[in-house]
A and B are shown apart, each in its own frame.
Chain A
């Protein structure tokens, strides 16, 4: 079996798209490998929907090129691209049964009715809906509708699978199980998948790689780890996870924040800005031991209990207010106004480069 990992499944080069005077996408470059699960993550209005519609073939770019498995598809119609898509609202045909919905793409490809019915039944079995073939979409639940949409999108063995925020309408428990299931199905079919979402947790959980998009450009492309721990810009840092971002001036010892705290770092930088994830800060009654640590004293300003975690706002004496997240522990929970010690490993004080268009200082 050839190793598809090194094959380019989708390649976007210098894609640009404007609507009237609004630039929706500017100079998008993106390459997705065969079998990869890539997430396009961005807030609403970031251009991610336009990018998805452009890959699907519902929108053509003003300039640039789009290649699918080596074939130029920049101007090809949606049907020619062999892309399976799951729409945000599933877009199931209300006048067709579940089975007929899944048969639709096969019938459009001139399969015989019998063959289409057999394949569609197999696809429905793969999403555990074999018993629901005769129902109409309105007669099944939202989660089941989503599975039908998924079966319909993969039944004709498409080259790419596009998922447009498919989980946003589901409740949390169902969403998590659907996310796992989609990931398993995708892996078992080795299907190159492009997933659109604005939910960063979902993106971190599902993806091989994430492309963070904002203002019509890809801000950063990398694995979930890279994106989370090494954000390349303030936009990415603030969009992914919770963060403490401290600004100040660089000194030989480290970064001196405007409020006067000195943060030593593992590696030197001159960005004048440090990112500390809330879970990287240790909170304790007594000063913590350890080398290569930044130590501060402070007072709890606020406590939020969210089940598995407790989130504290801590006013550092002569410094900033830091957000700290730690595993909840009923025994050692700190009270508001309590004096505490904070310790942050030098390696966890990560420099954040400035955005190109951002003014200095």
Chain B
């Protein structure tokens, strides 16, 4: 009894501590979203849902957004996994330096980094100049204003969100486990599939869900690097709200995007359960 009361009191105490943050989020974040969502449910707007779902154009944009998000996530995973393992084996000084390099882009404005990509990929940018100079192409090719540019930019910007959770799990693995695996006859591939991957799967899934969800909603990259050729849902929403002043439609599209994000989360959650099984408790507690 008394203990239960103590627990409640403790909980109330922590609630008091987080309440300013909760209040801020509630007023500035949750309330506007709720308002927008309620607008979409008004009688004159509810038909928008049917319109979005039945329209080939908008469904194609949703599909395109998802496709780009999956590509970015996979590329980031392939880039970040070996990098995380590499960083985890560096000396403490080198590790600090490596993290510095990883975090600087995070601290730099997305807009600045996007403009940097525009310069890099431009007609007279360093990449085109190099290609021409090396004789790989005769004349500068179009790199910017393409899906390639959008994917390259997003991959770069979202890489730390993949790297950090994976690094976090990898660095917690006892390095002697890799020696043990090698000594017991496991090659590089078996060591990866039987030891490294199962022991870092939680970090991998966390990184995958972060990057996937963030890339579903990215706006700046497709807007500035896509040159209007890369339709994604965030652009469509902006167009509805900004150009057509059709807030209800923008709200409907947002709601559909949110449902897609939630389904994605749910699938990853399911995957986590499947991969980690009941073992997480035994292995990591």
Please list the residues of chain A having a beta carbon within 8 angstroms of any beta carbon in chain B: 56-58, 77-79, 81, 83-85, 87-89, 91-95, 104-105, 108-109, 136, 138-139, 152, 156
Contacts and interface: CB of A to CB of B under 8 A. Distances in A.
7 nearest A-B pairs in the assembled complex, by CB-CB distance:
A136-B282, A108-B185, A91-B180, A105-B184, A94-B283, A91-B176, A79-B185
Interface in B76-112: none
B195 A93 contact: yes
B34 to A, nearest CB: 42
Interface string B172-215: 00101101111111110010001100110000000000000000
A58 B177 contact: no
Contact of A79 (B174, B186, B199): B186
Contact of B174 (A84, A91, A104): A91
Given A94-B282, A138-B285, A89 B174 contact: yes
B285 A93 contact: no
B201 to A, nearest CB: 9
Nearest to A138: B282
A221 B135 CA distance: 67
B284 interface: yes
B199 A104 contact: no
B283 A56 contact: no
For B184, B194, B279, B283, the residue with the greatest tally of chain A CB atoms inside 10 Å of its CB is B184
B184 A87 contact: no
Contacts of B285: 138
Contacts of B182: 57-58, 77-79
Nearest to A155: B184
Nearest to A110: B185
Contacts of B185: 79, 105, 108-109, 156
A91 B179 contact: yes
B184 A95 contact: no
Contacts of B184: 79, 104-105, 108, 152, 156
A78 B187 contact: no
Interface of B: 174, 176-177, 179-187, 190, 194-195, 198-199, 279, 282-285
A54 to B, nearest CB: 13
A342 B198 CA distance: 66
A56 B183 contact: yes
B180 A85 contact: yes
Contacts of A93: 177, 180-181, 194-195, 199
Nearest to B175: A91
Nearest to A105: B184
Contacts of A57: 182-183
A102 to B, nearest CB: 10
A82 to B, nearest CB: 8
13 contacts: A78-B182, A79-B184, A83-B183, A89-B174, A89-B176, A91-B179, A93-B181, A94-B282, A95-B199, A104-B184, A104-B194, A108-B186, A138-B282
A105 B185 CA distance: 6
Contacts of B198: 95
A94 B284 contact: yes
A94 B184 CA distance: 16
A93 B199 CA distance: 9
Nearest to B180: A91
B194 A91 contact: no
A89 B283 CA distance: 15
Contacts of A85: 180, 183
A152 B185 CA distance: 12
A87 B176 contact: yes
A148 to B, nearest CB: 12
A168 to B, nearest CB: 14
Given A79-B183, A95-B283, A108-B184, 19 more contacts: A56-B179, A57-B182, A58-B179, A58-B182, A77-B182, A78-B182, A79-B182, A79-B184, A81-B183, A84-B183, A91-B174, A91-B180, A93-B199, A95-B198, A104-B186, A105-B185, A108-B186, A109-B185, A136-B283
A138 B283 contact: yes
A150 to B, nearest CB: 13
A166 to B, nearest CB: 13
Contact of A78 (B174, B179, B190, B284): B179
Nearest to A81: B183
Nearest to B185: A108
Contacts of A104: 181, 184, 186, 194
Nearest to B177: A91
A83 B194 CA distance: 20
B199 to A, nearest CB: 6
Contacts of A105: 184-185
For A83, A87, A139, A152, the residue with the greatest tally of chain B CB atoms inside 10 Å of its CB is A87
Contacts of B284: 94
For B179, B195, B285, the residue with the greatest tally of chain A CB atoms inside 10 Å of its CB is B179
Contacts of B282: 94, 136, 138-139
B279 A87 contact: no
For A58, A91, A109, the residue with the greatest tally of chain B CB atoms inside 10 Å of its CB is A91
A152 B194 CA distance: 16
Contacts of B177: 91, 93
